[in-house]
A = this chain, B = another copy of it.
């Protein structure tokens, strides 16, 4: 028997009760029941995002939330500063390019965190920047960026701070309002424990002021003003993927029952345990500041990522993911976000030990597992829920 185990940084595992919600007969989307669900999930998302402001629901992938954040706030020819430290940060550049936004790319080595001092300097050099576009967790490198520090810097300027929190939010601490995030972009299929199909954007009053001062942004489906107008009545401008919204209610109940601080702590424990295990195997972590929803390690000399990942899949049913773009073949990424617990990480490490051993890599069986256990021992592993 090979039991499938999804260990990718999105899509991530979805709880069984959330999946069963998706098998319920379809109801109409313009009903009191769906409005009630939209009201509840909006409130729940606000708690998870730590915002008092608006959270809008889009029926789309997370990329569309990023595009909405850009296109509703930055006119053609205006300037945006992109904190470019990975494949997904580059998506901000591509969105800017599509709309003729003058993007100033602050380039950082992949795997290195964004340096807030450079952001401060760039804002001083470009006082006309309308937005700073960054990332909470760069999925392509497994790097968490210092969004709190960057947010404080951006908040002192007229620029908006738009953050791709797609693989970060729910896995890593994120205080949207306190950190000065004006537009937080999130996807459903990561730590929020749903399949893909929904995206969310939080919008601060500072962002709304900018959006309201921009009369005709080139968008229709992604028009945030249209979404705000309908959201006043817990509705959406176009047919929403409402079966996902109904399932999201169940997923959020789980997150809020566990407590978002406990959810963050669990992800911290899982990432530290995974990092410890990987390191104990003599593998090198790729990121200088690891994100908490995934762990990326360099493929060791003499081995192929396709062999490691292929054997994990074939022998143990574990799906991981490799590197993208210039990291193709160079790293392996193990996701541990959403509906994942500490023992899933232990299981993944045990499999990794066996696979590496078979591939001729020098492994002392149990070394990664033991290292992870040492991280977990004496910590409150069993959460309330």
A: residues with CB less than 8 A from B are 4, 6, 8, 10-14, 19-20, 22-31, 59-64, 67, 94-95, 98-100, 187, 189, 195-197, 216, 218-223, 237-244, 319, 321
Q: A195-B243, A239-B187 are in contact. Are A6 and B28 (CB under 8 A)?
A: yes
Q: A11-B26, A20-B23 are in contact. Are A197 and B67 (CB under 8 A)?
A: no
Contact B11 A239 (CB under 8 A): yes
Q: What residues on B are CB-neighbors of A64 within 8 Å?
A: 60, 221, 238
Q: What residues on B are CB-neighbors of A27 within 8 Å?
A: 4, 6, 11, 319
| Residue contacts A-B, CB under 8 angstroms, 5 given | A11-B29, A61-B240, A62-B238, A95-B220, A189-B239
> A241–B22 Cα gap in the complex (Å)?
13
4 more A-B contacts (CB under 8 A) besides A27-B319, A59-B60? Answer: A22-B22, A29-B196, A30-B321, A63-B237
Q: A27-B4, A321-B28 are in contact. Are A218 and B22 (CB under 8 A)?
A: no
> A222–B95 Cα gap in the complex (Å)?
11
Contact B31 A4 (CB under 8 A): no
> A10–B31 Cα gap in the complex (Å)?
13
- In the assembled complex, the CB of A74 is this many whole angstroms from the nearest CB of chain B, namely 13
> A4–B27 Cα gap in the complex (Å)?
9
Contact B24 A19 (CB under 8 A): yes
Contact B60 A218 (CB under 8 A): no
Protomer copies = 2
Contact A240 B196 (CB under 8 A): yes
Q: CB < 8 Å: which of B4, B6, B14, B26 contacts A14?
A: B26
Contact A23 B29 (CB under 8 A): no
Q: Nearest B residue to A189 by beta-carbon distance?
A: B239
> A4–B25 Cα gap in the complex (Å)?
9
Q: A239-B10, A239-B189 are in contact. Are A223 and B25 (CB under 8 A)?
A: no
Q: CB < 8 Å: which of B4, B24, B243 contacts A196?
A: B243
Contact A195 B26 (CB under 8 A): yes
Contact B238 A241 (CB under 8 A): no
Q: A25-B19, A60-B60, A241-B241 are in contact. Are A98 and B216 (CB under 8 A)?
A: yes
Contact A239 B62 (CB under 8 A): yes
Q: CB < 8 Å: which of B6, B24, B99, B196 contacts A239?
A: B196
Contact B220 A221 (CB under 8 A): no
- In the assembled complex, the CB of A110 is this many whole angstroms from the nearest CB of chain B, namely 20
> A11–B8 Cα gap in the complex (Å)?
32
- In the assembled complex, the CB of A207 is this many whole angstroms from the nearest CB of chain B, namely 19
> A42–B8 Cα gap in the complex (Å)?
26
Q: CB < 8 Å: which of B4, B12, B26, B220 contacts A98?
A: B220
User: In this complex, which of A8, A63, A241 has the most chain B Cβ atoms within 10 angstroms of its Cβ?
Assistant: A241
Q: What residues on B are CB-neighbors of A244 within 8 Å?
A: 195, 197
> A11–B219 Cα gap in the complex (Å)?
25
Contact B218 A59 (CB under 8 A): no
Q: Nearest B residue to A217 by beta-carbon distance?
A: B98
- In the assembled complex, the CB of A362 is this many whole angstroms from the nearest CB of chain B, namely 30
Q: What residues on B are CB-neighbors of A216 within 8 Å?
A: 98, 100
- In the assembled complex, the CB of A337 is this many whole angstroms from the nearest CB of chain B, namely 12
Contact A218 B98 (CB under 8 A): yes
Contact B25 A6 (CB under 8 A): yes
Contact A31 B222 (CB under 8 A): no
Q: What residues on B are CB-neighbors of A98 within 8 Å?
A: 216, 218-220, 223
> A22–B61 Cα gap in the complex (Å)?
18
Q: CB < 8 Å: which of B12, B95, B196 contacts A241?
A: B196
Q: What residues on B are CB-neighbors of A30 within 8 Å?
A: 321
Q: What residues on B are CB-neighbors of A26 within 8 Å?
A: 6, 11-14, 19, 189, 195
